[in-house]
Amino acid sequence: MSRILVIDDEDVIRSLVVEILEAVGHTVTDAENAERALKLLDDAEFDLVVSDVIMPGLSGLELLELVRARSASLPVILVTGAGTYDTLSQALTRGAAGLVTKPFAHTDLQSAVDHALERAKRSRDELRERLLAPTLASALANAIEARDSYLHGHCERLAALAVRISELLQLPPDEIETVRLGAILHDIGKIGIPDRVLLKPGPLDEEERRIVETHPAIGDKLLEPLDLLAAARPIVRHHHERWDGGGYPDGLAGSAIPLGARIVSVADSIEVMSSRQLYQSPRTSDGVREELLAHRETQWDPEIVDLALRLIDEGELILNTGVLRLVEPTTTPAPPRGIAVLLVEADEEHARLISEALEQQLEGAVIARATSVAQAAELQNGSEWSVAVIAHKLPDGLGIQVLDALRAANPALPVVMLTGQGSEETVIEAFQHGASDYAVKGSSYDALALRVRGLVAA
């Protein structure tokens, strides 16, 4: 189980918290004040901190700030008998992972601890994936390039071009990153191709061509056990499919070919045509242009070909040096997608006022409104949101249900919960379920919009 540090100046409360947490299997260390806790944090590793708010010396809020400064990923739960809105606001602002008010039931504390640990684990897993996936992809790509000096830098160059095309298509950041990884890994299956075929200096015969054409399926199979790179597998498998259906390994055609694979197919072909190869000289820009136009709508997606030609025409893609090179665009880049706000509010007047305030603070924002838990669930499917504002009470349930669903789909999504006057228990519950902030319904919606803007910009 987890290692937890508990801080409280009251011996009875501290012992109770330790007993509750040890009873469910956690390893617990306790301290009577924040100063002692900071020394323990210097000497040992912990997964979670549970601290009282009001203590002699440093308060729990001050301790929270110091802990966040030392280790931003270490979650801190605050325990307080002063459940005021001011305490709640300060806890949220300073980054607390949970808040428990005295007197509390065993289940209240256990629930807050479980939620905080689960959110921390999801954040660590996401960070691990973001850091390790590119490193692993580069290492695998290097294994291929090491076999052929003419391939040195090939994957990185075509990945840069594939990313630029993805940006022009205004793909979301996570999809662009998947395209980049797929581009780097696209030829990983060539590990399984014999040198006598892979490095042959002349044209391949029919049998050799069939051997080479197995590399997309080999690459897909190689990546199958690697969860970190699962999103890149369709690109690796399908980057040799053709728009007219005459490609391999599965004979897909048109939009049935994954978009990432279509992007990488064009980028790969341009990079190969414009670079020095073992058996051919690089083509000029005009030569590459002729080839792209000749096979537009047969080998390649016409929209992606047109974007590549645009990069050549505007001088952003340089092809006459023997090595593909991208330069800073000379024209204004395509605008990024606007901020997408999910507003879950049944009351027409409140929804109107909130929408108006958000539109003033978030220029170009797209606000989608749901009036119930069911409608929110429908809007959530297949959609990506920048921020969500959710009323606590809805005609068919509670906003907490929407919050939980959004958190499960995207743990990093900022969520603001709308509560009623004096609903401290609602705020605490929302906080425990991962809300980023709260606002009292009927108060200043301009202030709400400013806070939403801050969450989006963070």
pLDDT in tens, 260-280: 999 999 999 998 888 765 456
Strands 325-326 and 317-318 turn out to be antiparallel
* The residue to which tokens 């739960």 are assigned: 77
* CATH number corresponding to 3-122: 3.40.50.2300
pLDDT mean across residues, the chain:
84
Out of 3.30.360.10, 3.40.50.880, 3.20.20.70, 1.10.3210.10, which CATH number does the structure's domain 147-326 have? 1.10.3210.10
Is the CB of residue 219 less than 8 Å from the CB of residue 171?
no
Query: Residue 39: how many CB atoms within 10 A of its CB?
Result: 10
The pair of three-digit structure tokens given for residue 219, joined into one six-digit string: 């690459």
Is the CB of residue 286 less than 8 Å from the CB of residue 176?
no
3-state secondary structure of 140: helix
* The residue to which tokens 């912990």 are assigned: 46
d(Cα 419, Cα 174) in Å, to the nearest integer?
Answer: 32
d(Cα 77, Cα 238) in Å, to the nearest integer?
Answer: 47
3-state secondary structure of 331: coil
d(Cα 304, Cα 239) in Å, to the nearest integer?
Answer: 13
The runs of H, that is alpha helices, within 32-153 are: 34-43, 60-70, 85-93, 106-145
Q: Is the pLDDT of residue 195 over 90?
A: no
- What integer pLDDT is reported at residue 110 of this predicted model? 92
- What integer pLDDT is reported at residue 164 of this predicted model? 93
Is the CB of residue 250 less than 8 Å from the CB of residue 295?
no
- What integer pLDDT is reported at residue 174 of this predicted model? 82
The predicted-structure confidence for 282-299, as pLDDT tens digits, reads as follows: 788 888 999 999 999 999
The pair of three-digit structure tokens given for residue 156, joined into one six-digit string: 């990185």
* The residue to which tokens 């999504």 are assigned: 413
The pair of three-digit structure tokens given for residue 15, joined into one six-digit string: 């012992």
User: Which of 90-94, 174-178, 334-338, 378-382 is least confident?
Assistant: 334-338
Beta bridge partners of 163: none
Q: Is the pLDDT of residue 192 over 60?
A: yes
Q: Give the start-to-end residue ranges of the domains of the chain.
A: 3-122, 147-326, 340-457
**Its pTM surpasses 0.85:** no
The predicted-structure confidence for 217-248, as pLDDT tens digits, reads as follows: 999 998 888 877 889 999 999 999 999 999 99
Q: Please give the full DSSP string across 243-311, using - where no structure is assigned.
A: TTS--SSS---GGGS-HHHHHHHHHHHHHHHHS--SS-PPPPHHHHHHHHHHTBTTTB-HHHHHHHHHH
**Of 124, 49, 123, nearest in space to 434 by CA:** 123
The pair of three-digit structure tokens given for residue 328, joined into one six-digit string: 């800073």
Q: Is the pLDDT of residue 210 over 50?
A: yes
| Amino acid, single-letter form, for residue 114 | D
Query: Which DSSP symbol is given to 367?
Result: E
| Amino acid, single-letter form, for residue 424 | E
CATH superfamily of 340-457: Response regulator (3.40.50.2300)
**Of 313, 267, 272, nearest in space to 289 by CA:** 313
The pair of three-digit structure tokens given for residue 383, joined into one six-digit string: 């959609």
d(Cα 254, Cα 244) in Å, to the nearest integer?
Answer: 7
Give, in order, the Cα–Cα distances in Å from 92 to each of 30, 76, 110, 136, 453.
24, 11, 20, 36, 16
- What integer pLDDT is reported at residue 306 of this predicted model? 95
d(Cα 458, Cα 455) in Å, to the nearest integer?
Answer: 5
- Positive or negative CA dihedral for 402, 408, 410, 415? positive
Q: Do domains 3-122 and 340-457 have the same CATH topology?
A: yes
**Of 434, 330, 455, 431, nearest in space to 87 by CA:** 431
Q: 18-22, 181-185, 195-199 — which one is most confidently predicted on average?
A: 18-22
| Amino acid, single-letter form, for residue 140 | L
- Positive or negative CA dihedral for 342, 345, 347, 351? negative
